[in-house]
Every structure is written in structure tokens, then in C-alpha cells.
Amino acid sequence: MGTELTPGKPTTRRYSDGEKAQAVRLVRQLRAETGGRHGAVQRVARQLGYGVESVRSWVNQADVDEGRQPGTSSRDQARIRELEQEVRELRRANEILKRAASFFGAELDRQQKR
């Protein structure tokens, strides 16, 4: 069971990859045994003491990662986050360069007018 607590949020827990994988495996096993999808996530979540929506999202993401359902894989999501961060940094650097060019351009104009 996830035992790490986030400071300032006593109800938020961090689960290890192993805990998430175990929950996904148990849901899939239960679904295979019962032949149905209804109630498996809730039952496993209750047994493990995890949030139902957390377990449901882990199962859905595992299905996407394994190609069982369409969506953005975890690897692609991580790459998108990296690229978005890079774009933000480049835009910031570009803005700084524009301001510097404007400043130095104005300074050159002042020096030429003298």
C-alpha cells in the first residue's frame, strides 16, 4: 500500500510502479476469472486500500501503453512534456534576444546621431 504522503496534502498518496502494476494485474486477473468488466476495479481498489479512480486510470493507461485501446502512451506523454518544456524555454530565450536586439539597436541609433 502507498505510504508516502505529500506534505500539505494528507489525503494524497504516491504509489510505486510496483504497486500500480500489482493493481492492474489483479484487475485483469479478476476480469478474466469472472468474465466481466463490471466491478473488478472497485473490488481490487477496496481490497488494496487504493482509490477507485486511481486504479481505474492505471488500468486504462496500461491498456493504452500495451496497445489494447487507443490513446497517448506514457512514453509519448513524457516526450510531449519534454518538448513543451523545450518550447517554453526557447520562447523565453527568443524574447530575451528580441529585447536585447531592440535595446542595442536603439543604443546604436543614439550613438550614430551624435
Residue 105 has what pLDDT? 84
Q: Which CATH class is domain 1-71?
A: mainly alpha
3-state SS, the chain, equals: CCCEEECCEEEEEECCHHHHHHHHHHHHHHHHHHCCCCCHHHHHHHHHCCCHHHHHHHHHHHHHHCCCCCCCCHHHHHHHHHHHHHHHHHHHHHHHHHHHHHHHHHHHHHHHHC
Residue 37 has what pLDDT? 78
Residue 3 has what pLDDT? 54
The residues of the chain scoring below 70 in pLDDT are: 1-12, 114
Residue 110 has what pLDDT? 79
Residue 7 has what pLDDT? 54
